[in-house]
Structure 1
Amino acid sequence: MEWTPDVSVGDWLRERTDDPWQGTMHDVVPRGFAAYARVFHPTTRSRPVGMAWPPLPQDEHRRAWDAFADAQPEIDTEAARWRDAAASFGTELHPAAQWGALVGRALVDGPVYGARSRSDDGWEYDAPREGELDAATLAAIGRHLAARGTAVGYAAVWEGWGGLVGHLGIAPSRAFLSSSSDEPDLERHQEMLAHAMHDPFNRPYAKESWQPGILDDAVSRGPRLSLPGRDYVLFWGPLDVFADPMWPHEVPWRDQEMERAGFAQFAASPSLMWPSDRSWVLATEVDFDSTIVGGDAALIEALCADPALEALPLPAGSSLQWDADAVNR
C-alpha cells in the first residue's frame, strides 16, 4: 500500500456517519449497509497451577500475595474469547454485550480500562485490546473480504497512534530506552534525555523543532481524512495484503526504527478499510474492543460462521457504549 493525499475519496464516510455523535455505532460506522457483524477482539486468561490466586484486594492481603510470589507457581495462560468469559461469570454473550458487564464489573461511575477480572472458577481475564486487531484476527476477516473480489481499496490509520506522524515540539515523537548497562548505551541514553526532556528551568528558551515520526515528513505534513471526532492518515492499494497474518511486515506505517532498536515488530491495524466500490466497510474504532464490518448479508453470514472469529450479527443503530449492555445488568 502507499499513502494518498486524496482524502476526498473518504467523503462518503462523513456523509453516512453521525455528526455530532449520537452514541450509536454510526458515530464511526457508516449507515446504509444491508447487514453488520461485530467481531469481538480476543483476549487471554490465566490461573496458577496447583494453587489458587490469593484473595483481593492485594493491599488488604499483602502477606498472602507475598507468600504467593515466594512460591513462584506456574501460571497457565491461554487465549480466550468473550463466550469463555460469559461462561465463567454466568453472563450472556449477545451482539451488544459490553466487556465490563460480561465480567460483572460494570460500574455506575464509568468503565474500568485495562482491568483484570477474576471468576469463581479461578481464571483471571484480561480486558480485550481497544482500537486495534491482532494480525491473525484481521487476516481471518481479510480472507472473507478478499473473497468478495474487490482487490483495491483504502486503509485509514488513526493519526493518534504514538509516533506515527511527526510534530512540531521539543521532545521526539518516540524514544527507545535500553536496559543494558553497557557504557555506550548509557551514554547514548543520557544524550537522548538531554535532547528529549522538556526542562523549563534549565532550558527556558528551548525552541520547538520538527520531530520526525514513523511516516515520512511529507505524509506527516500532508492532508488528513477528517471525520467526526477522528483524523486519519489514508493509504490505498491492494487489500488482499490483509488476508495474510504477516501483513504488519508489508504496510508503510510499520515501525522499522523500533525493530532496529531491538523491539518487537509493530504496526497498528487499520482503523477503517473499504474497497473502491464501497461494497463493504471495516471499522476498528479507537475506543471499541470490537470491530464492525458492514456489507451484504452473505458476507456477514460468512464472518459469523467462521470458527476463526468470534462474531455476531449486529443490528443497525446499536449502541456500543460501556453502559449499553441491558442484558447483563
Structure 2
Amino acid sequence: MDPLRSAAAGDWLKPRIDIQWHDMHAVVPRGFPAYARIFHPAWRDHPEATKTWHGHELPARGAVQGQEVGWSDVALAFGKHMHALTQFGRLTGPEIPRLGPVDAAGWRYGSPELGNLNPEKLAAAAVHLCAHTSTPNQGVTGIWEGYGGLTSSSGYVELTFVDDGVQPDYGGGSEAPNAEPGTGLLPAEVVNGERLQLPGRSYFLFDTAPRIYLEPGWLHEAPWHHSPDSPQSPNLLWPADKSWVLVSEIDFDSTIVGGSWDLISALAQDPAIEALAIQEGADLTWDADVHNRPAQ
C-alpha cells in the first residue's frame, strides 16, 4: 500500500471522465461494456420500549435494536419500487420530527454512508473483481484528497459548485489555513507530490493489489484512515490490466463498477452484494428516480 510518487498510472481515466455534468460520467469513466451499481447498506433501529411525544411513539433511551438493511428491504417496508436508478430519499416515507423516516412496524431508518463501501461488502465484491482480471496482484487505489486529517492535522478541502451545469471545478479546493503538510496521516513528500487530477476531484494514488480487499487485514495497513474502526474504502480502484474500475464517489450513496458483462452479472447475482446493472450514461441524481416520484 505504498503511495505512488507519480500520478501517471491514472492518466488512462482522464479522457473517459466528462468535464460537464450530464450523468454519472462526471465521476465514473466511460467506455466499459457494462456497469453495476452497488448499493451501500442503510440502517434501521426499533425500540423495545416506547414513550409518547406529541402523539408519536419515541424510542426509550438505551432500548433500541439496530441492524444493517438493504435498499430492497427499505422499499418493501414503505411500499416503494426498487430499481437500478432508485434514490434512497425517495424510498422512505415522510419523516417524523426528531425521528426521521419510520415505517408502519415502527422501524426508524437512517441513510447509507456516502463515498464509502463497508469492508464486508467490499470483500464480497472483491471476490468477483479479482476473478475478472488477469492482474489481481497488481493495481491502484485512489483516495480523495479532502478527507480530514489526511494531509495535515487540520487539513480539509472546500467543495465549490456552480449552477450552470458546467463544472470544471465541482470539487477540490484548498487546505485549511496554517495547515502543515505532513502532520496528518500522509508524510510531507506524499502530500507535496503528484495527485491524480480528474475534473473536480484530486486523488492520492497507492500501489495496492485488488486481492488485498478480500481479507480484513487491509484495515490495519491502509495509510489513509485513522483506525480499523473507521475505515475508508477506495474512492477509485482498478487492476493493472484496467479490465474494470470501481468508483465510490464521495457524494454517492452507492459504488459504481465498470467492467465486462460477466463481471457485472456476477456482482448483480451475488446475494451478499446488493447490486443492479445500470446503463452507460445512467443519471444518479435524486430526480432520476421517476418510479418513486411523489404524486403531484
Q: TM-score, normalised by structure 1?
A: 0.75
Asked whether the 8 Å contact 1:49–1:73 carries over to 2, the reply is: no
> How far does the alpha carbon of each residue in 1:102-154 deviate from its partner, in whole angstroms, 9 at most, with x for none?
11459xxxxxxxx9421122111110000111111111111111122422011
> How far does the alpha carbon of each residue in 1:35-94 deviate from its partner, in whole angstroms, 9 at most, with x for none?
11100001211111255x746xxxxx2x977xx57x547212112110111011100110
User: Once the 2 structures are TM-superposed, how far is the Cα of residue 220 of structure 1 from its aligned partner?
Assistant: 1.0
Change in CA separation of 1:155 and 1:25 when aligned onto 2, cut-off 3 Å:
same
The one of 239, 247, 250 aligned to 1:283: 247
- Distance (Å, rounded) in 1 between the aligned partners of 2:229 and 2:46: 28
Asked whether the 8 Å contact 2:10–2:196 carries over to 1, the reply is: yes
Q: Does 1:130 align with 2:114?
A: yes
Q: Does 1:95 align with 2:79?
A: no
> How far does the alpha carbon of each residue in 1:261-292 deviate from its partner, in whole angstroms, 9 at most, with x for none?
xxx63331110011111100000000000000
Q: Does 1:208 align with 2:178?
A: yes
The amino acid of 2:67's aligned partner reads E
Partner of 1:15: 15
The one of 68, 81, 94 aligned to 1:79: 68
Partner of 2:151: 165
Say which structure is richer in helix. Answer: 1
TM-align CA RMSD:
2.4
% identical aligned pairs: 43
Asked whether the 8 Å contact 1:213–1:220 carries over to 2, the reply is: no
The one of 137, 140, 162 aligned to 1:154: 140
- Distance (Å, rounded) in 2 between the aligned partners of 1:85 and 1:32: 32
Partner of 2:286: 322
> How far does the alpha carbon of each residue in 1:156-176 deviate from its partner, in whole angstroms, 9 at most, with x for none?
00011111112xxxx7449xx
Q: Does 1:298 align with 2:262?
A: yes
Change in CA separation of 1:140 and 1:229 when aligned onto 2, cut-off 3 Å:
same
Matches within 5 A, 1:19-58: 19-22=19-22, 24-51=23-50, 54=52
Q: Which runs of 5+ in 1 are unaligned?
A: 56-60, 107-114, 175-197, 199-206
The amino acid of 2:115's aligned partner reads G
Q: Which runs of 5+ in 2 are unaligned?
A: 157-175
Q: TM-score, normalised by structure 2?
A: 0.83
Change in CA separation of 1:324 and 1:105 when aligned onto 2, cut-off 3 Å:
farther
Q: Does 1:145 align with 2:134?
A: no
